[in-house]
Amino acid sequence: MVRHQQDSAIVSMVSYWILCQNQLRKNKSTFSISEKLPGAATPPINLFIFAIQFDTMITTGNSIISIYTEMTPNPETMKFVANKLLYPGKSLDVADETLAAASPLAKELFSFPFIKAVFIASNFVTLTKTPDTDDWQDVIPTIKTFLQEYLENGGVVVNEEEVAKMKHEATNTVNADDDDIVKRVKELLENYVKPAVEMDGGAIQFKSYNDGVVNLMLQGSCSGCPSSMVTLKAGIEGMMKRMIPEVKEVVAEAE
């Protein structure tokens, strides 16, 4: 039933856009919202707005991008979520402007004086503000507008060639030369930890394993978060000890 209603709504929206186009082809200088499909009721305002947005998308070939924000457990960071994938299945932590060569988007974001760090993953960007920036609410509208325009204009998010040149000290990618314990640790991080921490706008990457001690790297909102150590010890360390008996302790550092 719900699917049928959704399909009907889409048909109505597209039909209304076609009506708009037909009216404009008749050289009508104005198009009243009271125009309607034969036998149909006057279209609601949301259809009229959709028609304008849909026409923009068809004319320019660019998708309509929407951006919304989510607070994270770290008060110094804010998560900006897009309605499209930015870096699917991967993440990139740009801890400062000197590392921004791998991301044209991050480089542009660092032009804002209140941005300290940029983290990109999946369909979101997590930004860390400078200490002298008092309130996120003062800068959120500016960032949302920038991200929307940048993505709608087809701006490059990540340059994979530059990423390949970077030295990755921490990664959850399983390598052929990883021993069995390291493989299991990385798989646990990727399958159980990654989805949870991404919801909070961050990432936790494997750095090393030695004599029962797992060393992890905190990125994005996890870096510098007051509650990250609680999550690390009460959550991740406890789970690893249960699922991988060889693990005795989990420690972490922030990039």
Express each pLDDT in 222-235 by its tens digit.
888 878 878 788 88
Residue 80 main-chain phi, psi, to 5 deg: -110, 115
Domain 180-254 in the same topology as domain 67-165: no
User: pTM of the predicted model, to two decimals?
Assistant: 0.70
Which stretches does DSSP call E strand in the chain?
A: 67-71, 77-82, 87-94, 115-122, 124-129, 202-210, 213-220, 249-254
Mean pLDDT throughout 4-11?
48
pLDDT-wise least confident of 1-10, 56-65, 83-92, 178-187: 1-10
- Angle, CA 84 vertex, CA 82 and CA 86 arms, to 5°: 85
Give domain 67-165's CATH architecture. 2-Layer Sandwich (3.30)
Mark residue 154 as left, alpha or beta (left: phi above 0; alpha: psi -120 to 50; beta: remaining).
Answer: left
Every domain of the chain and the residues it spans = 2-60, 67-165, 180-254
Cβ contacts of 151 within 8 Å, gap of 6 or more? 65, 82, 84, 86, 157
Exposure letters 81-93 (e unless 16+ CB within 10 A, then b) = bbeeebbeeebbb
CA gap 92, 99 in Å, rounded: 10
The two tokens of residue 144 are 């949302």
| pLDDT at position 44 | 53
pLDDT digits (tens, 9 = 90+) for 54-86: 455 444 455 789 999 999 999 999 999 999 999
Per-residue pLDDT band for 255 (boundaries 50, 70, 90) equals low
| pLDDT at position 231 | 79
| pLDDT at position 196 | 87
**Rg, Å, the chain Cα set:** 23
pLDDT digits (tens, 9 = 90+) for 79-98: 999 999 999 988 999 999 99
Give domain 180-254's CATH architecture. 2-Layer Sandwich (3.30)
- Angle, CA 58 vertex, CA 56 and CA 60 arms, to 5°: 65
| pLDDT at position 89 | 87
